[in-house]
Amino acid sequence: MAGETLTSGEYIKHHLTNLTYGQHADGSWGIAHSAAEAKEMGFWAIHLDTMFWSIGLGVLFLYFFKKAADAATAGIPGGLQNFVEWIVEFIDTSVRGSFRSKNDMVAPLALTIFVWIFLQNLMDLVPVDLIPWFTNLLGIHFMKVVPSTDPNATFGMAIGVFTLVIFYTIKIKGVGGFVGELTLQPFSSKNPAVNALFIPINFILEFVSLIAKPISLALRLFGNMYAGEMIFILIAIMYNAGVMFGLFGGALQLGWAIFHILIITLQAFIFMTLTIVYLDMAHNEH
């Protein structure tokens, strides 16, 4: 699909364009047929490929873990049960090491975040032209298969975590405790007049710190995965252009894919760990 006629710039733009559904300039709703048209659809547009792959991978995750749970035995476990138990123990150890309070929701949330993001990131190892070539035969001209390279997906997950942080902060500490954390630190004084002067300064500093949590979560994941996807696309361009060929081209793609396995795992782990830490902060005075 890379384009027998596409230039390098057009090839890159094509691979970085989502399958977008939204409102056309004439007021009708439908799927965008070009990158420019997709961009013009604005805020209410939906990236159908991101939705399809993220939901599909989530269902796949639930299916295999449910299958492992149903087939669990106290005897000699099978391969799937061993694998699932290893992941669950790994997550349990991470939660116990970072979360000091009692909340039965945190461990399942951490497990879901880690496995779901890992599966989304893992799609980056699929050859960049394979699935788009197949969907192009079906008349679907745009198809991004890595949901975590779409900022809409990463910000959606980050905002979900941020909502839980705010919810548990208010639930555990009350509205007064939440407001106090935003206004009475890091600067304080025993003099009430001076302390009142510190309140707007504290609020600005703490509010920026609060808002930075979901932004950093989303942008860290998006930035790393987007960069990895770009490198795969550039390797594909050089390979298709004949700059690289044979064993050298294959070795370069394989080498980057092996290194990228570390990146996709690390990014899922970082997102999960920061989620646990942020929820721990929401449960404890600081």
From the list 54, 148, 224, 240, the catalytic residue is: 224
Using only the alpha carbons of the chain, give its radius of gyration.
Answer: 23
Distance CA 89, CA 83 (A): 10
SS3 state at 22? strand
8 Å CB contact between 236 and 94: no
SS3 state at 61? helix
Cβ-based neighbours of 119, under 8 Å, separated by 6 or more: 57, 58, 60, 61
Distance CA 184, CA 200 (A): 9
Amino acid (1-letter code) at residue 11: Y
Distance CA 268, CA 119 (A): 9
Record the tokens describing residue 47, joined without a space: 């990236």
From the list 101, 188, 209, 216, the catalytic residue is: 216
Distance CA 116, CA 111 (A): 8
From the list 8, 34, 152, 220, the catalytic residue is: 220
Strand partners, 106: none
**What are the distances in angstroms from CA 59 to CA 54, 56, 67, 134, 135?**
9, 5, 12, 22, 21
Catalytic status, residue 96: no
Phi and psi (nearest 5°) for 102?
-110, 115
Distance CA 60, CA 156 (A): 20
Catalytic status, residue 220: yes
Catalytic status, residue 216: yes
Report the catalytic residues. Answer: 216, 220, 224
